[in-house]
Amino acid sequence: MLDLDRRRALALGALIPLAAALPAWAQSPGAGPGGEPASEAAWDLTDLYPSLAAWDAARVAALAAIPGVAQYKGRLGESAETLTAALIQSSDIAKTASRVNIYASLIGDSDLRNAQAQERQSLARDLFSKLGEATSWQDPELLALGLPKVEALIAASAVLQRRFAFGLRDTFRTAEHSLDAKGELLLAGAGKPLSDPVSIRNQRLASDIAWPTVTLSDGHTQRLDDQGYTLVRDVPNREDRKKVFATFWGAYGQFRNSLGATYKAKLDGDVFRMKARNYPTSVAAALSGDNIPETVYRTLVAETNAGLPQLHRYFELRRRILGLPDMAYYDIYPPLVSLGRTFTLAEMRATTLEAVAPLGRDYVARLAQATAGKWMDPRPRPGKASGAYMNGGAYDVHPYLLLNLSDGYDGMSTYAHEWGHAMHTLLAKQAQPFELSGYPTFTAEIASTCNEVLLADYMLARAKTKQEKLFYLGQKMENIRGTFFRQAMFAEFELKTHDLAEAGEGLSGRRFNEVYLDLLNRYHGPKVAIDPAYAIEWAYIGHFYRNFYVYQYATSISAGTYFARDIQRRGVKAADNYLSVLRAGGSDYPVDILKRAGLDMTTPAPYRALVASFTETLDAAEALL
């Protein structure tokens, strides 16, 4: 019954990396643009463990406790007390494992050059694997007892009702996809080899590709690995951008066959799991864990395609504002308008607190208190992990945020985004027990997106010049392009490649290029020139190894925008309704949580509303021109 996929999700919190460009001052140790130190991590990890020795003692104790789970094997149906004791024991180990994992992960990401830190992360992950194997008998034993027996046990225990009833009933929901004890043990043991493709892919990118260096027209040179590409793909000079794209995707293209074989192995693993658990499709298997209807995924893809004329309209607007004779794929990233304004960390904090005021005084006060603590590592530095995430899986400790903030508006937007995740975590932990506090990814991005929308609207309302207004309108349009349309395109790619794998089609890097190029052309329209060499971009998207994950960015921006607009229209009642979603954590299925809040993600309405919001923003920008 111990759902380790949920526990791993809780341990990772909202560990959603955001591509964050590193400004020039971040390339070497020293001070950040606001004067704050940038040479060491700014968070205080002693709230997790006072020392490495204490961390290791907790890890060893958790490992030693795992064999004790077996004492309840064959006894779950004895009484409500026995079932409660068995589940509490497994849950307590999982809670410790989450905390152990987070501490190791945060130290490792503080400096990726620290080999010992990486080894500690491996030890921490091993806890989950061992616990998964040790508890693999629980679901088959519960299923053998039958739902009526388990319901009787739940009725006899207040602890089962409060902490475990949802998970117990969920076990029976997926009964037809559960195996016997031997089968579950085999699948648990297969977890590591089935995860090898992503490790192979990441190792290849890290050590096997000789990343080229490009020299730009101003004499600046840049090594074009994944991070370096994000630093210069938006440079002002168009010929430079074209050169960057040709060089970077050319480097990826040389490894098309091996990267294709790696992704094919990942697809084969998904099909294996689908068949082992008797699901009709890979997407059905992936969505089953959170009981998300397949209609959500397919409706999103259909409605995104219906909205593509507005996206094509945006690309034409982009061409006009940038003053280009035509539009190419390498013209997508430069900002429509340069603002030139910078923000210190203190200004980011103050502005975010003002922007989220519609969420109520209590929310703002809680956020003010949280942002005053040593919970985040805000600025980039050599050796630190790139991107941005919130890690909130330590139930008894506050969340932590790893950021790589620039000093521009994108940095402040990332700040608001990740603190939205942190507030979601704090509210869920306050309202729910450990077992129900780990919210699924489907709702995880709603809180962060809502904060971003409120921030953009706040800044736009206070913009004084046409230039400022165009800048913030451009930010809003880019957010929808990148988070809704682009992620839905990725989702469609995943759907198509899994369909091919399930049909037994021959798959290779060449075939993946064909599928991806077709999507690039359809999503960007006939007026955006796309070199076929860019089709290798699918190999750059690491999220494709997370199995039908990216679609949730698109559903979340739809939901987050809906709630932000509702709060702006109806005020405190709408804010309370929205906050009830955050407090719900993982106490129910995410689609049902949103339905209770008035939002049905199985229908076209949320996606059409987002496209309509995109259209309104386009109208406003065109009116300014």
Q: What is the 3-state secondary structure (H, E, C) of 380-434?
A: CCCCCCCCCEEECCCCCCCCEEECCCCCCHHHHHHHHHHHHHHHHHHHHHHHCCH
Assess whether pLDDT exceeds 60 at residue 29. no
Assess whether pLDDT exceeds 80 at residue 9. no
Rounded Cα distance, 270 and 198, in Å: 13
Task: Give the right CATH number for 4-178 from 1.20.140.70, 3.30.70.2740, 2.40.40.20, 3.40.50.10490.
Answer: 1.20.140.70
Distances (CA, A) of 76 to 164, 165, 318: 13, 14, 62
pLDDT, average across residues 163-186: 90
Supply the mean pLDDT for the chain. Answer: 91
Question: What pLDDT, on the 0 to 100 scale, is given for residue 541?
Answer: 94
- In terms of Cβ atoms closer than 10 Å to its own Cβ (0-12, 13-18, 19+), residue 269 is buried
Confidence of residue 189 (pLDDT cuts 50, 70, 90): confident
Rounded Cα distance, 609 and 303, in Å: 10
> Residues near 47 by Cβ (< 8 Å), separated by ≥ 6?
397, 398
The four Cα atoms 583, 585, 587, 589 give a dihedral, to 10 degrees, of 120
Question: What pLDDT, on the 0 to 100 scale, is given for residue 36?
Answer: 43
The four Cα atoms 125, 128, 129, 131 give a dihedral, to 10 degrees, of 150
Q: What is the DSSP letter of 64?
A: H
Confidence of residue 608 (pLDDT cuts 50, 70, 90): very high
Taking the CB of residue 40, how many other CB atoms lie within 10 A of it? 11
Residue for token pair 């698109």: 554
What SS3 class is residue 46? helix
The residue from 184, 418, 452, 537 that is catalytic is 418
Q: How many CA atoms lie within 13 A of 469 on its CB side?
A: 13
Q: Which two tokens stand for residue 189?
A: 């043991």
pLDDT, average across residues 144-171: 97
Instruction: Give the DSSP letter string of 207-236.
Output: IIS---EEE-TTS-EEE-SHHHHHHHTT-S
Q: Is 502 a catalytic residue?
A: no
Question: What pLDDT, on the 0 to 100 scale, is given for residue 33?
Answer: 40
pLDDT, average across residues 350-372: 97
556: nearest Cα among 410, 366, 420: 420
> pLDDT digits over 456-502, tens only?
999 999 999 999 999 999 999 999 999 999 999 999 999 999 999 99
Instruction: Give the DSSP letter string of 551-617.
Output: HHHHHHHHHHHHHHHHHHHHTHHHHHHHHHHHHHTTSS-HHHHHHHTT--TTSSHHHHHHHHHHHHH
In the chain, how many H helices and how many E strands?
A: 28, 7
Rounded Cα distance, 448 and 476, in Å: 14
Confidence of residue 40 (pLDDT cuts 50, 70, 90): low
Rounded Cα distance, 250 and 212, in Å: 9
Question: What pLDDT, on the 0 to 100 scale, is given for residue 380?
Answer: 87
Rounded Cα distance, 153 and 175, in Å: 18
Least confident segment among 300-314, 373-387, 499-513, 535-549? 373-387
Assess whether pLDDT exceeds 50 at residue 548. yes
Confidence of residue 35 (pLDDT cuts 50, 70, 90): very low
pLDDT, average across residues 364-382: 95
Rounded Cα distance, 71 and 614, in Å: 57
How remote is the C-alpha of 300 from its chain's centroid? 18
615: nearest Cα among 301, 308, 310, 332: 310
Assess whether pLDDT exceeds 70 at residue 1. no
Least confident segment among 111-120, 157-166, 395-404, 559-568? 111-120
> Residues near 151 by Cβ (< 8 Å), separated by ≥ 6?
none
Confidence of residue 114 (pLDDT cuts 50, 70, 90): confident
Question: What pLDDT, on the 0 to 100 scale, is given for residue 107?
Answer: 94
Confidence of residue 11 (pLDDT cuts 50, 70, 90): very low
Q: pTM above 0.95?
A: no
Selected residue with higher pLDDT from 376 and 381: 376
Share of the chain above pLDDT 70, in %: 94
pLDDT, average across residues 592-600: 97
Question: What pLDDT, on the 0 to 100 scale, is given for residue 113?
Answer: 84
Assess whether pLDDT exceeds 80 at residue 10. no
pLDDT, average across residues 415-436: 97
Selected residue with higher pLDDT from 110 and 305: 305
Rounded Cα distance, 86 and 81, in Å: 9
Question: What pLDDT, on the 0 to 100 scale, is given for residue 440?
Answer: 92
> pLDDT digits over 308-348, tens only?
999 999 999 999 999 999 999 999 999 898 888 999 999 99
- Which residues in the chain are classed under CATH 1.20.140.70? 4-178
